Each structure stands twice: as structure tokens, then as C-alpha cells.
Amino acid sequence: MKTRTSFIHTAVLRTAGAVFFLLIAFSCCAAVRVHAGTPELPVINITSDTSYNDIYNEYVPADMELTSPDHAPSELYSGTAYLHLRGNSTAGLLKKPFKLKLENKADLLGMGRSRHWVLLANAIDLTNIRNLMMQRFATSLGLTSMSSRLVELYYNGTYKGVYELCEQVRIGKTRVDIYDWEDLAEDVADAVTDGLISKGLIPKDREDEARAGIRSDLKKDYAWATDSDHTFYLTTVRNIAGRDYWKVDLAEYHDFSDVPDATGGALIEMDFYHNGSADLKTAYRLPLYLTAPDYTGSNFDALEDYMRDYIQAAEYAMHSTDFVYRASDTHYRTTDEGRYSRSQGRRLSTAYGESDFYAPVYDGMHYSDLVDIDSVINNMLVCELSDNWDCMKNSFFMYKDIDSKLVFGPAWDFDWAWGNSMYGIDTAGMWNGTYTYARKWQTTNDYFANEQYYQTQQFNRLLVKDPYFVVKLYERYREVRESLILPFADEYESMCESLKVANGKNYTLWRRTDSSGGGAGRTYNEQLTHTLDFIRQRISWLDEQFADPQTLIDSFGYYKASDSLTVREPDTVSSPGNVLISVDVTGSIAAETAAVSFQINGRTFITATVADRCATASVPVSVLTDEPGIYSTVVCRAVDAAGSYIKNSRGTEPGVYTNAHSGYIVIDETKIGAAAGESGEGRNDADGSGDAGSNPGGTGNGSADTDNGRHTDTSASAGGSDDGTSADGSFRPFIIAAIAAAFLAVIALTALIIAKKHSKRS
């Protein structure tokens, strides 16, 4: 009996010990997964006849194997791949960045099936996570972003350091999910190929040649997609079947009834490296170009023409006094970019001339009718948190789907963030050991804009002149402050700690091979200290600027109010269901001011006549909002007897922006709720889409459908971050595993106690 009891006792002990050990191991694995799988990062082995340093702009073939103990076989890869050098400034560094094209689509590390990927070297970022962290931040805000994972690269058996395997920015179901004209071209080509084979015009043994050739023919010129008869001359068909058959009626083989007009399906990039091919360059010389459908070696005149006018109307709306495009206005274009004066810290001698742009189809549209304001605001938060030298200059993307607004994103390219740089450029503003640029706006920093003229006219700079936009920016910041912004520095430090081994190996190999500026640090520890200090100072300063809407507007300093207009506190009592807003007109403009235009939440305009130097507008609560944390912004502008805004020389820059004598008021939801009273008046969501009077010089009926700056924190629904954390940075897998381990350990301990009691009885 004693032997049997001893056996039971030993078995229970071993079982409990094994369970406890396995669960602790599981907990540790969960904790490791929080930090992107470190210390065992996924590994990419590339074998090629071309050496690492001999890869340039043309694809070279290679064998590639992606391995990882933490991913299913379906998320790995073993097969042929093609590489070429990518990047602009970083392409010349010793640690090379690559474009990667797989022979077959693959769901690499669970990021979605595609053939097209990039290997970012992060050569100037010794922490290796500037891009990774900012892309995840952008995703948590709700911006379209590319997923990425850190990996270790071996090339021809030699360790090449930590790389970032990332989705390439392109149109696709798992990338920028909008209408794909290239997919249409391939579908049509396949249908034509199959049809011509069935007719005997293309031999079966030349099917692959024909299919690839017809796809190429259709992607060179998309005129067939928008022409009414859908006929097209196919060079491949001529070469195979003869000249008698090369004019093909594509509609005979493919149903075009569901093919949309060319009003979207466009991915657009802004980058000064493409100045020569920037086919969508704006009047103020923003070097925008169509990156998808692929602009290299192809034409899509209908889509280019549409997007050029659409973007130009949006730009002119942002340059307009009240941020509304009017076809009848005089519009301007840059004729001389001038030069940046380092001694004065600004650009001098710029010149502008009149433009002949005319697009009546967009007449009366506010910029928020043309551009998705949520994405603009989220993108600006990305720019300001990162304080990135390249933001709104290079690698800035926008996209537009069929009949949608223009959307900012995906977020991309942050290796110059937080004072990091190349070429000795001081992007930190080092002065007496402090980072002065950590306490300046990225948007309005003239030193950041010295490299390219168009940075002085980039969209964010234009929009901070609009109190309505700045208030919406304030709302969004306060909404995500606790969950995304305040924890950011600690999350950055935590991820760097988890990558200490991998980053140490990477630093030992590469050290600092570029020319650093701004004191960002030439060793790993120096740069980590610099980065964390910069981020913490940055967040502290941002929090001060976002104290309240007026503090934020004053901090940017781009909105210039008039001393001649005084906006009174709103009257929420006298007229149930309405808010009465009165403006006193004084000073030099009192005699010429016939009326005041009240612009409510961007799109609604009400004009009130001046009597006894005062104008009062009765604003229905239906065009305001009473949601907590959401404000209503009313901008009031002086209007003369001819119905034109009265120009304020303060804040006016000829050829760029004409400021009006104006004032503004921001109304919180408590006052609006009081005005609603017992009237039961319906209210909308601060989109200005209620009834509107006339606005000077335009329709301004404010009746267009809008989402208009309503922001919803998407961090909870965006899914966990790629390193295993939840979207708010919490370590949920570790907590769950730890609880499970403790629970099962208790069970095992209970079994042990029972066994001991049983032993004593025996």
C-alpha cells in the first residue's frame, strides 16, 4: 500500500510540476510575443547570384525562405523572389533597403496575401522602430496604414541585421482597399485571351505569352476603360494572330456594365523626387503624382484629368477666405518659389500670378466636401507627434475611391522623426543641450520648410488658419490623449527593451554609417536616450498646447482675428430652439460693414444685417451639436454693401490667402442643450448641414452629405497591435496567461494536498 501511495504522490508531484512549468513557459512566450517575437525574430534567408552590394534599380532573382516558430506554415514562405534597391536618400547607405516581389502571393507573417513587399533597412534609426511605432499609432487613430514586422535578414548566409518587413503601399484588398483599375485590366485581358483561344485565333501553346502580353497592352493605356465602344488595338494580338485581328471589341468578351466612371481608384503620392513626373502638380507646386494605377509607362487621361481638377479645387478651397471653392473667384498660381533666408528664418521673394483654373462642378464646396476631414486631422496628429522632417513633404499619400472624398493616408516613412536625420541637418533644434524643435509645431516650423517651397503651402499649414478645423483637431486630441498619446513614450521604451538583443546585434554589425544631425546619437544607447527624451518633451509640450480650443488656435498663430469685431457670449434663452449670436462692429470698418456672415461648423452660412453697429444671427440648434466633447465653431466675418468680405491686411498674403475682418466663438454642448430647452428641436452632428442662408460670393447651402470632422476613437476596434499588445498598449496576452497559470497551479497544488492526506490515511 505504501508503494502504491508513493507512486501516486510522485505522479501528482511530477504532474503539478510539469503543468506549472509549461504554464510559466506559456506566460513567458505570451510576454515575448508582446514585443514582436524578440529575442527570436522571424528570419528571412535570401540566396542570390547577385551580391548584396550589387543590387540596384533592376530586379534580380533570388531564393527566399521566411521562417518563424511563432507563425503557421501558411504565413511563411519558401520560393522564388525578386529584389531591387528602393528608397531615396537611404538607397545610398551601406545598409540597403529593398523592394521585394514574390513569385506567388503569400500571407507573410499574417499581414495579408500579396506578391509585393518591402524590406526597410531603418539604417539611420538605431532603435529600428520609428516607422513601426508610428504606423501602429496611425492605425490606432483609424488611418489606413501598412502592417509591418521586424525580422532578421541573412543574405547569402551572412547576417545583415534587423529589417522591417512591410506591406508595400499599393491598391489591394489588404492594402489600400479601393477600386483597382489594374485588376480590371487583368480581368479583361484574361477574358479576351480565353475568347481568342476559343476562336482559334491564338494557339493554345502560346496562351501564357498572349495572356501576359494582353495584360501589358491594356495597362499601357486605359482609354478602353472609359471609351463608350471599348475597342482597343492590342499589339500582342497583332503579333500572334495578325494585323487583321488586332483591333478588338473588348465588350464582346467582358461585361462593362459595372465598370465605373473614372472618378476614383487613385493612389496619389507627394514627393519632390518626382517633380519631373508629377502629373498632378498643383497651382502651388505640390508635387503630386498618380502612383496607382502605375504611372510608369502608362496613360489614364480620364482619371488624371479628373483627379487634377478635384485636387486643385480642394487646394483652392483651402486658400479661400472662408475655405469654400468658388469658380468665380480669382485664383492664383506660384510663378517664383523665391529662396529661403537662413538669417531671417523664412522664405523671401516668392511671386504669384493669376490662374485660369475653372471648375464649376465644385462651385460652393467647402474643403470638407472634397477631403475626408477625419483623415486630415488624424494625419496631422501623426505629423505633430512624430515631429517628422519629411511629413507633408515626401512619402505623403492620399487616395480616392469611386465617388468618395479624398482621404489622407497611408502613413509612411518616419525614420527622420524626433530629431533624427542625415546630412548633418539639425532636425532637433539643438540649443544648449535642449531640443527646441520638440517644443515647436511641425506644421508651421519654417526651418522644416526651408528645403522645398511647397512646404509653405502644404495642406496642414493652410488649414490651421481655420478655427473650425483647429477645434476639430483639439477634439480629436482630447479623445485619444489618454489611450494613445500619453502612454506612447513608455510603449516605445518597452519595445526597445524587448529588442535589446536583436538591436545589439544590428548595432554591432552596422554601427552608425551615415552622417547624423541634431545630436540624435551615433551609438544605440545615445540614440535611445535622445529619442525617449525628445518624445517625452514633445508630448508634454503638445499637452500644454491642447489645453483648450483657444489656447490651441493662439499657439498655431495662423488665424488672425480682427480688433474691429467683438463676438458676444451666445444667448441661449431668448429664442427657444435657437442660439442668438451677436457681433459688435467697431473701429475703422464700422462705416463700411453692411452685414456679418456667420459660418457655422464649416458649411452652414447665415448672413445678418448690421443695425446700430451690431449684427445678430439666430442659429438653429439643428446645425449645432450637444454631444459631450464636441464643440460648435462659429466664425463671423464683416461683409460690405456689395456682399464681399472686408479685407483684413493682417493675416493677408497676396496670391496665397486673403484674410477678412473676423472673430469666432466656440460653443460647448451645455449651452446648446440649454438653447434646445423643451422645444424638441433635432440636432445633427456638428456638420453644418442644416438650413443655410447665403454666404458672400458663393452658394454655401451647407446641404451636402458630410461626416465633417466627427471623430470616433477606433483604437478598440482596430485590433491588437502587431507585436501582440492590444491597441491601447496593454499586455493582455501576458495577463491572461498569468491568470491561467495561477489558476491551474492552484488545481495542481490541491491535488498534491489530497494526495498527501491519502498517503497519511494509508
Q: What share of the chain is helix, strand, coil (3-state, %, to 5)?
A: 35, 20, 40
DSSP 165-182: EEE-S-BSTTSB-S--HH
Distance CA 660, CA 652 (A): 8
SS3 state at 105 = strand
- CA dihedral sign, ordered 285, 290, 295, 299: negative
Residue 645 has a CB neighbour count (10 Å cut-off) of 20
- What H or E segment, with its residue span, contains residue 135? helix 130-141
Task: Name, in order, each residue with C-beta under 8 angstroms of 437's C-beta and a sequence gap of 6 or more.
Answer: 387, 419, 427, 428, 429, 445, 447, 448
Q: Is 478 helix (H, G, I), strand (E, B) or coil?
A: helix
Tell me the three cell numbers of residue 558: 495662423
- Give residue 427's pLDDT: 84
How far is residue 346 from each of residues 2, 60, 79, 415, 734, measured CA to CA in Å?
92, 45, 53, 25, 51
Grid cell digits, residue 272 = 519632390
Dist CA 265 CA 279 (whole Å): 16
Beta bridge partners of 341: 346
> What are residue 635's DSSP bridge partners?
599, 664
What are the backbone dihedrals phi and psi of residue 725, each rounded to the nearest 5 degrees, phi first? Answer: -85, 165
Q: Which long-range contacts (CB under 8 A, 24 or more apart) does 234-237 make?
A: 234/192, 236/209, 236/210, 237/192, 237/196, 237/201, 237/202, 237/210
Using a 10 angstrom Cβ sphere, with 0-12 exposed, 13-18 middle and 19 or more buried, the burial of residue 242 is exposed
CA-to-CA distance for 393 and 631, rounded, in angstroms? 31
d(CA 61, CA 277): 28
Torsion region of 561: left, alpha or beta (phi above 0 gives left; psi -120 to 50 gives alpha): beta
3-state helix/strand/coil string of 379-407: HHHHHHHHCCCCCCCCCEEEEECCCCCEE
SS3 annotation, 401-447: CCCCCEEECCECCCCCCCCCCCCCCCCCCEECCEEHHHHCCCCCCCC
Cell of 383: 505629423
Phi-psi region of 193 (alpha: psi -120 to 50; beta: other; left: phi over 0): alpha
> Which residues, in sequence order, are bridge partners of residue 611?
614
What average pLDDT values come out for the chain (762 residues) when binned by 10 residues?
A: 45 46 41 41 97 95 97 97 89 92 97 96 93 97 96 98 97 95 97 96 96 96 94 95 92 96 96 75 96 84 96 98 98 96 90 98 98 98 96 95 97 92 80 83 93 94 98 98 98 95 93 57 84 96 97 98 96 94 97 98 97 97 90 98 97 98 94 66 42 43 32 32 38 45 52 49 43
Residue 326, C-alpha cell as written in the block = 468658388
Q: Residues 697, 701, 707, 711: is their CA dihedral positive or negative?
A: positive
The pLDDT of residue 372: 98
Angle CA 531–536–542, to nearest 5:
120
Contact 525/512 with Cβ under 8 angstroms? no
Q: What is the pLDDT of residue 366?
A: 98
Q: What element of type H or E holds 355?
A: strand 351-355
DSSP-derived secondary structure letter, 114: E
Strand-pair category, 43-47 with 148-155? parallel
For residue 580, what are the β-bridge partners? 571, 618
pLDDT number for residue 32: 34
Q: Can you spell out the DSSP letters for 636-671?
A: EEEE-TTSPBPB-STT-BTTTB--BSEEEEEE-HHH
Residue 153: the pLDDT is 98
The pLDDT assigned to 438 comes to: 92
pLDDT of residue 91: 83
Tell me, what amino acid is at 707? D
Separation CA 671–CA 437 (nearest Å): 38
Say how far apart CA 267 and CA 144 lie, in whole Å.
12
Which of 518, 541, 516 minimizes the C-alpha distance to 418? 518
